[in-house]
Structure 1
Amino acid sequence: MIKTRALTAADAPAASAIHQSSFETAWTAAQLHDHIERDLCIGLFEDSSLIGFAVLSVAADQADIITIAISPARRGEKLGAHILSALHQAAKDAGVRVIFLEVAIDNTAATALYKSLGYSAIGTRPAYYKRAHGRVAARTYRKDLS
């Protein structure tokens, strides 16, 4: 059974392993621990195993999705939508009215997910992400939770 809950410091190493398998520039367990201490971090668990997570930085009634990562073995199972639904509810509970995010323009799976959940494109940031083969632009998105 898949469940969501807030991440704790004990989840930082597992979250770091998922992040490292998902991004060229990955976070360490110490960096994830810092996010867990200051941000809204929701984990997706099957039994007691972390299979994905999301980090939301909240400032008053606005928030930014900092990262979302799903274990590579579990991609394609619509788990991103599951964790985002939980993140949206946690954000609403925290008084957030608007969520923003950036996504690399070549990340078509994430773009399709965000659009399917009601995110609207609001801009582009040229050369935003640094990659091994150069830089890639990011598209910015917004979702109204009210």
Structure 2
Amino acid sequence: MLSFRAMTHQDLPELTSIEQEAGPHPWNQKHYVDSIDSGHLCTVAEYQGRIVAQGVVMLAAGEASLLILTVSRSEQGKGYGSALLKQLIDSSAEQADTLFLEVRESNQKAFNLYLNAGFSEIGRRENYYPSGKGHKSEAAIVMALDLSVRD
């Protein structure tokens, strides 16, 4: 059964490992340390004692921003990302009216995950994400979810 808990500094090696394998532009350990130390909503999803997904939400002034949501590459397609997103939405709704995020234009799986969770596309940020050497920067699709009208 999937369970959720607060991220801790002891999780950093596992989080960093998951990030490194998940994609071409991973967060590093310092990103997680800063998020935990800043009091962001930092959550891990565990299955059978192993971290399978992680997410970080920054809360401020009645708004929330999903900074990252990563599912271990070997655990993708099992619904863990969707379950963690729901957990983060529920937790954010206690302190914020709107949850924002940016997603890479090329990340269709994540874009669809967010659409299915009720997010709407509200804008674009051109050249937001860096690309590899010799490639153009990539646009971010800005999405929002109104937390005040949830069931």
Shared fold, TM over 0.5: yes
Q: Which residue is 2:100 aligned to?
A: 100
User: Distance in 1 between the 2:87 and 2:128 partners?
Assistant: 28
User: How far apart are residue 123 of structure 1 and its match?
Assistant: 0.3
Normalising by structure 1, report the TM-score: 0.93
Matched letter for residue 120 of structure 2: S
**For 1:57-99, what per-residue CA distance to the aligned partner results, in whole angstroms no more than 9, with x for missing partners?**
1102101111110000011112111001110111123x11100
Contact 1:8 1:36 in 2 (8 A): yes
Structure 2 gaps, min length 5: none
- Please tell me whether residue 138 in structure 1 is matched to residue 135 in structure 2: no
Q: Of Structure 1 and Structure 2, which has the larger fraction of its residues in strand?
A: 1
User: How far apart are residue 26 of structure 1 and its match?
Assistant: 2.2
Contact 1:123 1:139 in 2 (8 A): yes
RMSD: 1.2
Matched letter for residue 76 of structure 2: R
Contact 1:12 1:30 in 2 (8 A): no
Q: Which residue is 1:8 aligned to?
A: 8
User: Distance in 1 between the 2:28 and 2:137 partners?
Assistant: 22
Identity rate of aligned residues, in percent? 30
Aligned to 2:137, what secondary structure does the other structure show?
A: strand
- Please tell me whether residue 90 in structure 1 is matched to residue 105 in structure 2: no
Normalising by structure 2, report the TM-score: 0.90
User: Distance in 2 between the 1:30 and 1:105 partners?
Assistant: 25
